[in-house]
Chain A
Amino acid sequence: MTEAVLFWLFAVVAVAGGLGVVLARDPLHGALSLLAAFFALAGLFLLLAAQLLAVLQVLVYAGAILVLFLLVILLLDLGPARAAASPPGVVKLAGALGALGLAGLLCTLFLSASFPPAVPPSDFGAVAAVGRVLFIDYTLPFEAISLLLLAAILGAVVVAKGKV
């Protein structure tokens, strides 16, 4: 009962936040909707007993990435979005059709799939359990991703250096 109420609360906030990001005219309002979505997602992770993931969601996304977004919005001093040149009707139609098709595909996929309720181990989501999975079971993908991130950072430095 409580779980269902909390789930719907977080789910509605997450979706509303996501819509807010897309629909808000003022970029800062968009960024703050994103913040609401991040917190709602953290709540959903908590409901799934993934505490570490929930806290990291807030720490990394709300604490670092969103603050970076806000910093950029403030630095560029973006006002409410100026009326951009509206795309031609054909593009709008194609976009709407594509979105509808994707929505239909996802709906049929989720409705047809069965999700057997999993029984998580008692230490599921705790730091030690996540650490074991990350550093023992999936060491190679983890290291590959760290290499990828390093390459991305170096790439960003090289791109930025050209202009400084």
Chain B
Amino acid sequence: MQPLADQLIRSWIHADPGAWPYTQAVYLLFMLIAGALLTTFTAVFSGIVSWYERRLAGRMQSRIGPNRVGPAGFLVWVADALKLISKEDTIPGDSDHALFRAGPYFVVTGLVLTFVALPFGDRLIAADMNLGLFYILSVTALVVVGLIMSAWSSNSKWSLVGGIRSAAQVVSYEIPAGLAIMVPVLLAGSLSTQGIIRAQGGPAGGSFFLAGGWPWNWFVFDDPMAFVSFFVFLTAALAEGNRTPFDLPEAESELVSGYNTEYSGMRFSFFFLTEWANLWVMSALATLLFLGGWQIPGVAPEVIGHSAALVFVSFLVFVVKTVALVNVVIWLRWTLPRIRVDQMMVLCWKYLVPIEMAAVLLTALWMLGFAHLVPAAQSAIHGVFFLAAGAVPLVLFLRQTFANLRLTSDRVDLTNW
């Protein structure tokens, strides 16, 4: 935060903030502005995603989706928010009133706190902590505690069962998620979110096709273990965020609505704000850990900070990658059916945890093996692995897709958007 604030002050009003008597107060003001911006971003993003998800679900199910308010129904999230704010905030008579009221705040606080260490571009981060990733993992604990508080205090069996499932699921999937995060951390040698992204910028002083955020510099194509870890991380993050196919805590066909059954109005909307904003958090984490973060292809990471235009491009790169992943997560929700509780536990403990244990150990061995080789060989290995795991499967997939389209004499149709 401080370097960014210094840089902004220097370039806007040409003054040296270090010489001011009340520099700390200025930094405090910057922090307050950053906090307000991030909180607003959380709310607006989750609102827009709620519209987008419903439109996408409509398209995947051959119906239209919300299309009444605004162009293509875009403003439906504003209408929803207004409705939820003006609704009565009911509190069940037999509930534990204090906990019932406090639960949703814990959930929202836990989520918004993660944005402190999430980057949006080069220099665009509220606080570049050297423990950034651990910090993000630890504050999300508040979300689970909030969910369990709400579930318990509602004094309702649907809520209680939802809360139990949520607790069991999060405790289990935290392990593969944490281990999968360790693979890029090992490769980058840093726990700072910006440090991990910087480590994906290719070899120092590389030529145009070696420097910056080319896919072959991404950690996902670094080695087979990182490639596997990327998918394990996405799966575990889905489960931690209670997304389909792991949305057992709010399985509406058996639990009414799970832990939020007894809530209404603003407190109810907090749960959904968290769920949708969590899509950004998990996608941004996957982007920064495995997909090169804000690195611009062909531009060395050291150059970006000196030019406002390049910083803006890095912001765009990060947002595009993250939104693409959000899109994939929404596809998954409308493609896969919900799995059973025992299947969920088996998947976590019998498959994901052992796979990740092996991946972390093998990554350490891999690094020991290649630390002694020349960087050029490392780049070549990245290139080969990118071809094998990224480029060739993509080409084959596209060929098969278009072959299928030709075979069924179908066409690509985007008209009902």
Contacts and interface: CB of A to CB of B under 8 A. Distances in A.
Interface stretch (B159-167, B205-213, B368-376): B159-167
B148 interface: yes
Interface in A56-88: 56, 58-59, 62-64, 66-68, 70-71, 73-75, 77
A71 B164 contact: yes
A71 B138 CA distance: 18
Given A55-B138, A59-B134, A62-B138, A67 B167 contact: yes
Contact of B152 (A51, A52, A74, A127): A74
Contacts of B134: 52, 55-56, 59
B141 interface: yes
A156 B164 CA distance: 22
Most A CB within 10 A of own CB, among B129, B131, B139, B168: B131
Given A74-B151, A74-B152, A64 B171 contact: yes
B160 A74 contact: yes
B96 A26 contact: yes
Contacts of B152: 28, 70, 73-74
B163 A74 contact: yes
Main secondary structure, interface of B, reads helix
A67 B160 contact: no
Contacts of B164: 71, 74-75
B171 A67 contact: yes
A51 B171 contact: no
Contact of B174 (A28, A63, A126): A63
B145 A70 contact: yes
B138 A127 contact: no
Given A63-B137, A74-B151, A35 B131 contact: no
A32 interface: yes
A70 B148 contact: yes
B148 A67 contact: yes
Interface in B123-182: 129-131, 134-135, 137-142, 144-145, 148-149, 151-153, 160, 163-164, 167-168, 170-171, 174
B130 A127 contact: yes
A32 B141 contact: no
Interface in A19-35: 26, 28-29, 32, 35
A67 B173 CA distance: 13
Contacts of A68: 167, 171
Nearest to A71: B167
B131 A51 contact: yes
A32 B149 CA distance: 9
A52 B151 CA distance: 32
A68 B148 CA distance: 11
Given A28-B152, A52-B131, A71 B171 contact: yes
Contacts, number: 76
B131 A55 contact: yes
A75 B174 CA distance: 20
Contacts of A51: 129-131
B191 interface: yes
Given A70-B148, A74-B152, A59 B141 contact: yes
A70 B147 CA distance: 11
B137 A59 contact: yes
B148 A74 contact: yes
A74 B138 contact: no
A63 B130 contact: no
Contacts of A32: 99, 145, 149
B151 A67 contact: no
B145 A126 contact: no
Contacts of A59: 134, 137-138, 141
Contacts of A29: 99
A126 B170 CA distance: 28
Contacts of A127: 130-131, 191
A135 B397 CA distance: 46
Nearest to B137: A59
Contacts of B140: 63
A21 B139 CA distance: 22
B141 A58 contact: yes
B133 to A, nearest CB: 9
Contacts of B141: 58-59, 62-64, 66-67
Contacts of B170: 67
B27 to A, nearest CB: 14
A66 B138 contact: no
A77 B137 contact: no
7 contacts: A29-B99, A56-B138, A58-B141, A67-B145, A67-B148, A67-B171, A74-B163
Interface of A: 26, 28-29, 32, 35, 51-52, 55-56, 58-59, 62-64, 66-68, 70-71, 73-75, 77, 126-127
**Which 10 pairs from chain A and chain B are nearest by CB?**
A63-B141, A59-B138, A58-B138, A71-B167, A55-B134, A70-B148, A62-B141, A74-B164, A55-B131, A67-B171
